Amino acid sequence: MAADVRLCLTPFDPALEQAQFARAHPQAGGVVSFLGQVRQDGEVQALELQHYAPLTLPGMQALGDATLARWPLDGLLILHRSGVMVPGDPIVLVAAAARHRRDAFAAADYAMDHLKSESWFWKREQRGGEWRWIEPRAEDHADKARWAN
C-alpha cells in the first residue's frame, strides 16, 4: 500500500478529504487526522508557502513511505498546500487509519512532526502589509527528535 500524498497548489476541502479517507478504510478501528490552518490572530494578513518541485513532492512521498514502514496502517493521507493563503485557510491535512487507535495517533503525529521540521517549503507571512520569512522553531526540531529511536 502506498500513502496518498499530494502537494496542493489550490485549496482543498478538509471535511470532504477526511470523509473520503475514512470511507476508504472501513476495516480500520481508528482514523486520526490533523488539520493545520492559517492562524487568525488579528495580525497575519496572509501566509505563503513556496516549494521546489523536484524536492518537495518526493520528500513528502518519502515521509509517507517512512510512516507506513514504522506503523501497521491501513491508510495514510498527507495533503499540503503551496501558494498564498489567508487566515482560516487549510494548510495541511494528515490522516492515518489503523486497526488500533494508538498506531493511527502515533503515525499522524510522526508525519506532522517531520513535516514541520523537515518541510520542503519556504514559509513567509504578511503582517502590516510587509512579508517576512519564517524559520522552523526550536520546538519543531525537538518534536522531531522524539522519534529518533
Tens of pLDDT along the chain (149 residues)?
A: 789 999 999 999 999 999 999 999 999 999 999 999 999 888 899 999 999 888 899 999 999 999 999 999 999 999 999 999 999 999 999 999 999 999 999 999 999 988 876 768 899 999 999 999 988 777 766 666 677 86
- CB–CB of 40/88 below 8 Å? yes
**C-alpha cell recorded at residue 71:** 506503523
**Nearest residue to 68 (alpha-carbon basis) of 106, 115, 15, 34:** 106
Nearest to 83 by CA among 142, 27, 10: 10
Query: By C-alpha distance, which of 41, 38, 33 is closest to 16?
Result: 33
pLDDT at 80: 96
What are the C-alpha distances in Å from 14 to residues 23, 35, 57, 81?
14, 7, 19, 12
- Which residue, 134, 51, 46, is CA-closest to 84? 46
**Which residues partner with 77 through β-bridges?**
4, 95
C-alpha cell at 121: 517549503
- The amino acid at 60: M
Was domain 4-145 assigned CATH 3.90.1170.40? yes
Whole-number pLDDT of residue 126 = 94
The conformation of residue 114, written as its DSSP 8-state character, comes to H
